Chain A
């Protein structure tokens, strides 16, 4: 994984590799502003922006807090691999099942 340059800590956040996430999509689905989400998880709104842009990797505590807020498992929000679009992940298995029949 190529670390993204320009992160606030070590170039890519708290870790040396980039962690991909779906925070922007999940936030939009729940019609939350960055500021509201930041308030809800107790961080600065800029931190949410950096998370969404992949310029900051959250701590485990922040990741768990976000997962709790979105009521999703951590691995549904964060991944070490680039994430496929939600719709693809949701519908691809069904399509595969249909094709198999």
Chain B
């Protein structure tokens, strides 16, 4: 039988710190080699992944007492039901409607898992730390039940594949690469903790006082969890809130006879920070005093984003026309949705017109 109490403050160890330093160092090195803006975005993504990994490591190392609120079985069961509902929602999502919703659900599930891990004093998380005989039997029961539940689900799917018609098989084929598969993986990871949280009775109150270092460790872990969850939400809101960064329309004119000429027009518009999209307008227009005409650009390629990170883009307008007065006009409108909180949308409208004398009439 093990003899030391898991309630005791445990050493954090240097492993998370070393891992985090290595990952961030590699990320900075990668970022330093790229010079454009989207090198920064990719670096931010890399740092965010490192932050999540470090948070997971730190949370696993800190054994926090559930406290008065999470010690209640009723509260724990509500969290378990929320996880089950999120998984069902993921199963119900259409395969082509994944993306942003799944990311949001995964963030929510990560938060629930952290809450459940704390509520169960991380009994079901296989840490190299001593559990007493009751905790050991509780953990074993959680894993045993989780095994049978997952085996039941897998067996049911096998039966469906064997006996069901082609429609069900087609669904299963899609499910193996979409929401249901993600839900299954989430359950495979979280189910033992969920079962322990479900079956463990109300805990004994009050908890013994924590040491100061342990209190700080818990605070640091809580701040890291909050940061990991809030940063993508803020970046998603930034897509809608941060003003668009647009460079001036640059004009490179080439020498030509009086009244005629050609010019290359370039303009870059950037939306958001980290969750961002960049649109580049690059066109060459010529004019002769009677009418303007384009040589290249002002087509579908100018309506599409040249780069984007963690956003989805839908183009609603992409029109080029020559008016009767000889002006070439180009308009495009796009909607940018962040992958997290995908119900948010930013409308981007760009309009350029070059008249028959080479004057740029309008830009937005």
Q: Are B135 and A47 in contact (CB under 8 A)?
A: yes
B137 CB to closest chain A CB (Å) equals: 5
Q: Which residue of B lies closest to A43 (CB)?
A: B132
Residues of A within 8 A of B4 (CB): 42
| Residue B67 CB within 8 A of the other chain | no
Verify if A45 is at the interface (C-beta below 8 Å from B): yes
B137→A45 contact, CB < 8 A: no
* Bound CA span A39–B6, Å: 10
A67 lies within 8 A of chain B by Cβ: no
Interface pair B203/A46, CB less than 8 Å apart = yes
Known: A6-B201, A55-B201, A62-B1. A45 touches B208 (CB 8 A): yes
A-B contact pairs, 7 of them (CB 8 A): A6-B73, A8-B200, A9-B141, A44-B135, A46-B203, A47-B133, A47-B134
Q: How many A-B residue pairs have CB under 8 A?
A: 74
Q: Report A-chain residues with C-beta under 8 Å of the C-beta of B5.
A: 38-39, 42-45
User: In the bound complex, how far is the Cα of B201 from the Cα of A9, in angstroms?
Assistant: 10
Which of chain B's residues have a CB closer than 8 A to the CB of A35?
Answer: 7, 208
A8 B137 Cβ-Cβ under 8 A:
yes
Residue of B nearest to A52 (CB): B204
Bound-complex Cα distance A61 to B132 (A): 12
Q: Are B199 and A42 in contact, CB atoms less than 8 angstroms apart?
A: no
* Distance between Cα atoms of A100 and B121 in the complex (Å): 56
Whether A8 pairs with B199 at a CB distance below 8 angstroms is: yes
B201, A47: Cβ atoms closer than 8 Å: no
Q: Given the interface contacts A42-B132, A49-B203, A50-B201, does A9 sit within 8 Å of B138 by beta carbon? A: yes
Choose among A33, A50, A61 the residue that contacts B134 (Cβ–Cβ < 8 A).
A50
* Complex Cα spacing A13 to B199, Å: 12
B200 contact set on A, CB distance < 8 A: 8
**Contact: B7 with A44, CB < 8 Å?**
yes
Q: How far is the CA of A65 from the CA of B77 in the complex (A)?
A: 34
Where chain B touches its partner, the secondary structure class is: loop
**Is A16 positioned at the interface, with any CB of B under 8 Å from its CB?**
no
Judge whether B2 is part of the interface by a CB distance below 8 angstroms. yes
- With beta carbons under 8 angstroms apart, the residue of B6, B121, B138, B208 that contacts A8 is B138
How large, as a class, is the contact surface on chain A? 20 to 34
One digit per residue, 1 when the CB lies within 8 angstroms of any chain A CB and 0 when it does not, for chain B 113-143 equals 0000000010000000001111101100100
| Interface residue count on the B side (C-beta < 8 Å) | 24
Closest Cβ–Cβ distance, residue B219 to chain A (whole Å): 22
Known: A14-B133, A42-B4, A48-B204; 5 extra A-B contacts, CB below 8 A, are A42-B2, A44-B7, A46-B203, A50-B134, A50-B204
Nearest B residue (CB) for A13: B134
From 1 to 58 in chain B, residues with beta carbon under 8 angstroms from any chain A beta carbon are: 1-7
Does A18 sit at the interface, judged by CB under 8 A? no
Q: Cβ of B208 and Cβ of A44 under 8 Å apart?
A: no
Contacts known (A9-B141, A33-B208, A39-B5); A44 close to B134, Cβ less than 8 A: yes
Chain A residues lying within 8 Å of B1, measured Cβ to Cβ, are: 42, 59, 61-62
B133:A62 contact, CB within 8 angstroms: yes
Residues of A within 8 A of B201 (CB): 6-8, 50, 53, 55
Smallest CB gap from A34: residue in B: B204
CB distance from B119 to the nearest CB of A (A): 12
Within 8 Å of chain B (Cβ to Cβ): is A56?
yes
Given contacts A39-B5, A42-B1, A43-B5, contact A56 B204 (CB under 8 A): no
Q: A9-B138, A33-B208, A56-B134 are in contact. Are A42 and B203 (CB under 8 A)?
A: no
Please measure, in the bound complex, the distance between the C-alpha atom of A48 and the C-alpha atom of B203, giving whole angstroms: 11
Which 7 residue pairs spanning A and B have beta carbons closest together? A49-B204, A42-B3, A43-B132, A35-B208, A47-B134, A9-B137, A6-B201
Q: Mark A17-37, 1 if CB is under 8 A from B, else 0.
A: 000000000000000011100
CB–CB B134/A8 < 8 A: yes
- Report A89 CB to chain B, min CB distance, Å: 27
